[in-house]
Structure 1
Amino acid sequence: MLEAGTKAPDFTLMNQDGQGVSLGDFKGKRVILYFYSKDNTPGCSKQACGFAELYPHFREQGAEVIGISKDSVGSHQKFAEKYQLPFILLADPELEAIQAYDVWQEKNNYGKKSMGVVRTTYLIDEEGIIQKVFKRVRAAENPEKMLAALL
């Protein structure tokens, strides 16, 4: 995992509307950058809905929320529409940002080892510096904890 105090790696990925989005586009704003494993799974849906519910409060604090998974743009479109997600979802099927942020790791699920995204959230400041790293977060609690970290 990347550590607090380091420069956040920039990336350019496609959002749910098929437009390219770079981390650098948000210079001057704080960014909640969260990595999750898969659209429409129970935990990931709960996490996304939590961010959606609190989104106005994140905006009041001058922060943008960005979710990244290896799902496709089309999958993100359906996911965002289904749950009316007001924030940005980025498709990273080539694992560009996922690997740059060191969240592609070996996971152990019921004794079966496989590679996957470890649910991680980064708080990035206005200058693109990682302020806080939340590792192996609990999906349901993550949005409220991130809002508290902004205050």
Structure 2
Amino acid sequence: MICAHFIHPLWNTTHLHTHDYDYQLILLEQPVPVTPNSRPIAIGNVDDVQEGEMITVSGWGHTKYKQRVMQDIVRRVRVPVIEHEICQSLPLINYKTITPRMFCAGYLNGSKDSCQGDSGGPAVLHGKLVGLVSFGVGCAMKDQPGVYSNIPLVRNWIRQVTNLPL
């Protein structure tokens, strides 16, 4: 059970960048048991997220746009990080500005992507957490990559809230 949650202090739903600072930490009543399927993960470095790097995204979300049934098994997909300037220049329907605290990943031809229900899921690079699924338009649509919250950029806030040596 969740006993507390901590939303990033700069998150502001009335601001132009409605997905900027899309970070929340939760405190659980009990520690999550370490098993072969669940274990702690280190946070990546600020300079890890580079154009062309292949991240692995996982979640229980939809596998097709507007699908009504959630998955009962976790799925994963590998997608390339897209250069920040390219992502900002795309005709991204409903997107706000892609800020430095975000990065885009996916195939511009629309072949693979995260989808609805994957939000908050991990984006992993070389065994380290570099992002969380934040938002996107549809699923695997042409010129509509997924947008991710860049975790290494808020390492100090995570350290401050958790008192963990990150």
Higher relative contact order (CA 8 A, sep 6+): 1
Pair member with larger Rg? 2
Tell me the TM-score normalized by structure 1: 0.25
